[in-house]
Amino acid sequence: MDNIKNETSYKWWDDRATITTNKPDADFDKELFKTPKSIKNYLDSKMFGCEQYKKRMSVAIFSAIHKKVKTNMLVIGNSGSGKTELARILKEIYPNTVIFDASLVSPKSYRGNTSFSDMFLSLDTTRPAFCFVDEIDKALCRHESELGTLMQNELLKLVEGSELFVGEDKNKKKIDTSLVSFIFMGTFDSVRQERKSSIGFGSDVTLSNKDTPVTKEEIEDSETLSAEFLGRLNGGIITIPPVTESIAMAVLADERYSPISRLEKTYSVSIKLKTTNIEELAQSTAKYGFRAIYSELHEKLCDALYEDSNSVTIDI
């Protein structure tokens, strides 16, 4: 674990990838990855909720490392629901993992722009690798042009497993994606906005509203993603439940997961929140996700430290 890395890193809440110019360290804790349950137990210690997501990913991680089987899946959830958090946790314990922002991707023929092949620059594809492709809906769901279709077609062979060249012209390298598991993540707001209300006699009491995540059935019915693309998702489609106020309160009260605890450890201070402020934060989290609550707390903490930089207890 003594590799020297030249990288651009971002805070834990930032979805952007960490771009590394050398191969990731091949070492990892073999005992932690011994069984799907041992992986799930670790994820449980770091991440609240998202039970189906953690369980399915635990099996996918185990299968990739021990059986050389790649798993491709689509994860749908509101912003801040935990889609990218699992990727960050895995990257810490299994370095051959990348989080790739697909929102600015253009077709490969658009020279000079970011392309899907860029996600492999920091991966060692000679061994099992995990590629979390965030904001995939922003790249593929472009109804106003053929860009979405072009990029879906580009992804088909990569997802199935194929050879390609990546890198700049003078430093191109040939890779094979047969051992790369793809986890596509997105909110699919465009599908959610097209929901038709069926409130009235005979309507389903579990009717989705504008705030609930898009369902697997809605994705399939919308034809936003082609049948060929969906057919390559051997791990299926997972929908993460929305963050409710009660869930937010539970997370805020648990030091293992709470953004408050993370800020306290980062700044070596004790943060005291009024009950009313905790309730307001819980309401905010249910609406905007955990990243928003962290940002709001961080802003208040910075204001307090500005007034008294020697404070060890911060009242918010």
Per-residue pLDDT of the chain (316 residues; tens, 9 = 90+): 444 343 444 444 454 444 443 444 456 778 899 999 999 999 998 888 889 999 999 999 999 999 999 999 999 987 777 888 899 999 999 999 999 988 877 666 555 567 788 888 888 999 999 999 998 888 777 554 566 677 788 788 888 887 877 766 667 778 889 999 999 998 887 777 666 544 444 444 344 556 677 777 888 887 778 888 888 899 999 988 877 777 777 877 777 777 788 888 888 888 887 766 777 777 777 666 677 777 778 888 888 888 888 888 887 7
Are 243 and 213 contacting, i.e. CB atoms less than 8 angstroms apart? no
| CA distances in angstroms from 61 to 2, 28, 130, listed in the order given | 25, 13, 8
DSSP string, 49-86: S-HHHHHHHHHHHHHHHHH-----EEEE--TTSSHHHH
- SS3 label, residue 210: coil
